């Protein structure tokens, strides 16, 4: 009866325990402990890690001016009041390198980069899984590192990094250390801030566009990373891992710089004098959605100031949108005059909504259906020459027609 070994041989594989074991001694030679400069001792055993401290000259950060630091913006944005109380030393920035993208139970994090402000320096700890069987120690060490933190900052961590790490804790029979931490995921924040301005909001692109940092040649594209780790495991050559560590370090640093940048940007964007007009618009919209109407009014108005705008340079589409939103806000607040003057501007810019809103005001507030009708007719005329999509035209047309008919009925009824 052919044994399994025979069958496997038939599958075209040469086997032999000796061949496999031959790999081990070789690997142990090349894989020296000193590749990583530190060791973390846990109650269960030790794990190696790369320990680096960056001074503030090495990278720019608001953390230099402690009294300017505040997580207030995030606290509002994420509707998490507790965030406000935390200072820079209570934040851990985290980024991992994993063996795959699937998120299933077989995906490991082989580099966990965590960074924290400590004594005016940025302390980066990069745990490295040099042997998968050593994972438990790594997880315990990570938990110990996180013990003094209250806030986690990541990029796409909520959907990716943290769920994978949670799996690893479960598979190693350990409790989840992330439960007591607040989590700020900068990916959705970046989207809300820079959706209008940037096509791509990957960390790399944000690094380039917003932070204006470019990496050394040492850096490698993300898709190559898992295979480099597998090669390391099978062959033992650590040199390529240095580049992966560099990549990870840059990612963590960028996280902290990005956080800083957002804090700076949102603190007092107008008086800083350096805010990008599109970003200011995005901020206005964010505050509008948060219900902070006074701030929204301030930011929208700034962008709409005629004289400034020539230099300020808010693109026309956003000018239009600003006008419409601001007018809507004033309307909600009951300030008819202000909203009317904005709708007037909208009309000048040939925005159908402007016509309709003004018609509404004339009809209901000023009891002037005749004027309302004139406006409606102008809108219908305008619609014919506009370059809106067919669907939009149809939608507007039907609404305008409906309004016109109603107004005519009203007029004929003798008001």
Partner 1 sequence: MSIKQIINIWENDPTIFDNITAWKTRLAREAVYAEFPESVNLNLVHILHSLKIEKLFFHQKIAWEEIEAGKNIAILTGTSSGKSLCYNLPVLNKLLQDPESRALYLFPTKALSQDQYNKLDVLVTGINELYTPKPHFKIGIYDGDTPSNQRSQIRASCQIILSNPDMLHLGILPYHTSWVNFFSHLNYIILDELHIYRGIFGSHIANLIRRLKRLTKFYGSTPQYILTSATISNSKSFAQKLIGEEIEIITQDGAPQPERNFLLYNPPIINSELGLRRSASIESIRIADDLITSGNQLIIFGQTRPGIEKILTFLREKYPENIIDPISQIRGYRSGYLPKQRREIEEDLRNGIIRAVVATNALELGIDIGGINAVILTGYPGSIASTLQQAGRAGRSNEPSLAILIANPDPLDQYIMSHPNFVFDNNPEAALINPNNIYILLSHLRCSIFELPLKVNETFGDLSQEEVKALCEHLMDEKNVYLSKTAYYWMTTQYPAQNISLRSSSTDTVVLTKVADPDRVSPLTIGQIDYQSSMWMVHPEAIYLHESQPFYVEQLDLEKKIAYLRPVDTDYYTEPQRSTKIELLEKIEDFDENGSNYGYGFVKITSQVIGYKKIKWSTHEQLGIGKVDLPSNELNTTGFWLILKGKITEHLRSENLWNNEANDYGSEWKEITRFIRQRDTFRCQVCGVLETDRPHDVHHKVPFRLFSSMNEANEFGNLIALCSTCHRRVENNVRIRSGLAGLSYILSHIAPLHLMCDFHDIGVFFDPLLALFQENLPTIVIYDMIPDGVGFSEHLFAERNQIITHALEIVEACKCSDGCPSCVGPGGENGLGGKKETLAILRALTSCRP
Q: Which is nearer to partner 1, 166 or 243 (CB)?
A: 166
The conformational region for residue 333 under phi > 0 = left, psi -120 to 50 = alpha, else beta, is alpha
Q: Which is nearer to partner 1, 163 or 188 (CB)?
A: 163
Token readout for 61 is 């950060």
Q: Which is nearer to partner 1, 172 or 205 (CB)?
A: 172
Q: Which range, of 98-106, 285-293, 322-330, 384-392, touches partner 1 by CB under 8 A?
A: 98-106
Which residues make Cβ contacts (< 8 Å) with residue 47, sequence separation at least 6? 39, 40, 127, 134, 137, 138, 141
Residues 105 to 124 in contact with partner 1, rule: CB under 8 A = 105-108
Q: Which is nearer to partner 1, 14 or 79 (CB)?
A: 14
Draw the binding track, 202-241, toward partner 1 (x: CB under 8 A; -: no contact). ------------------------xx--x--xx-------
Interface pick for partner 1 out of 167, 202, 353, 393 (rule CB under 8 A)? 167
Tell me the closest approach of the beta carbon of residue 20 to partner 1, in angstroms.
6
Tell me the closest approach of the beta carbon of residue 196 to partner 1, in angstroms.
28
DSSP 239: H
Q: Give the bridge partners for 185, in sequence order.
A: 154
User: Binding to partner 1 by residue 179, rule CB under 8 A?
Assistant: no
Q: Which is nearer to partner 1, 62 or 129 (CB)?
A: 129
Interface pick for partner 1 out of 45, 100, 313, 315 (rule CB under 8 A)? 100
**C-beta neighbour count of 46 within 10 angstroms:** 15
CB 75 within 8 A of CB 155: no
DSSP 366: S
**C-beta neighbour count of 173 within 10 angstroms:** 8
Which H, E and C letters describe 391-404, residue by residue?
HHHHHHHHHHHHHH
User: Binding to partner 1 by residue 15, rule CB under 8 A?
Assistant: yes
Distance CA 382, CA 205 (A): 41
- Size of site (CB under 8 A) for partner 1: 37
Token readout for 220 is 């490698």
**C-beta neighbour count of 265 within 10 angstroms:** 20
Q: Which range, of 5-13, 31-39, 300-308, 344-352, touches partner 1 by CB under 8 A?
A: 5-13
Q: Which is nearer to partner 1, 4 or 239 (CB)?
A: 4
Q: Provide the binding-site residues for partner 1, judged by CB under 8 A.
A: 1-8, 10-11, 13, 15, 17, 20, 99-108, 131-134, 166-167, 170-171, 226-227, 230, 233-234
């Amino acid at each position: 009866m052919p044994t399994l070994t025979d069958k496997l041989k038939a599958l075209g594989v040469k086997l032999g325990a000796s061949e496999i074991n031959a790999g081990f001694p070789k690997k142990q030679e090349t894989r020296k402990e000193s590749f990583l400069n530190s060791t973390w001792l846990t109650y269960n055993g030790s794990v190696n890690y790369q320990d680096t401290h960056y001074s503030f000259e090495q990278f720019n950060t608001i953390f230099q001016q402690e009294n300017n630091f505040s997580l207030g913006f995030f606290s509002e944005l994420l509707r998490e009041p507790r965030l406000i109380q935390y200072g820079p030393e209570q934040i851990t920035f985290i980024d991992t390198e994993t063996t795959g993208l699937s998120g299933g139970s077989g995906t490991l994090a082989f580099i966990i980069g965590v960074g924290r402000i400590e004594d005016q320096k940025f302390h980066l700890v990069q745990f490295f899984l040099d042997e998968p069987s050593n994972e438990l120690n790594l997880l315990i060490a990570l938990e110990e590192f996180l013990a003094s933190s209250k806030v986690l900052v990541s990029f796409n961590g909520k959907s990716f990094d943290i769920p994978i790490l949670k799996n690893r804790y479960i598979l190693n029979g350990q409790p989840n250390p992330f439960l007591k931490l607040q989590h700020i995921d900068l990916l959705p924040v970046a989207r809300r801030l820079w959706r209008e301005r940037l096509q791509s909001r990957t960390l790399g692109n944000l690094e380039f566009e917003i932070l204006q940092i470019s990496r050394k040649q040492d850096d490698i594209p993300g898709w190559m990373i898992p295979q480099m780790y597998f090669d390391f495991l099978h062959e033992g050559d650590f040199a390529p891992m240095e580049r992966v560590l560099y990549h990870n370090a840059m990612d963590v640093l960028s996280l902290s710089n990005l956080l800083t940048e957002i804090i700076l940007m949102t603190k007092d964007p107008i008086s800083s004098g350096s805010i990008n007009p599109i970003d200011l618009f995005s901020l206005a919209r964010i505050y509008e959605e948060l219900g902070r109407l006074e701030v929204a009014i301030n930011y929208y108005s700034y962008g709409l100031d005629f004289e400034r705008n020539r230099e300020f340079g808010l693109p026309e589409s956003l000018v239009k949108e600003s006008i419409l939103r601001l007018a809507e806000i004033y309307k909600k607040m009951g300030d008819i005059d202000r909203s009317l003057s904005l709708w007037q501007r909208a009309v000048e810019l040939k925005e159908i909504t402007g016509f309709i809103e003004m018609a509404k005001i004339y009809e209901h507030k000023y009891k002037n259906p005749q004027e309302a009708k004139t406006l409606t007719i102008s809108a219908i005329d305008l619609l014919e020459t506009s370059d809106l999509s067919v669907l939009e035209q149809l939608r507007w047309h039907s609404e305008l027609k409906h309004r016109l008919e109603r107004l005519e009925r009203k007029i004929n009824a003798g008001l």
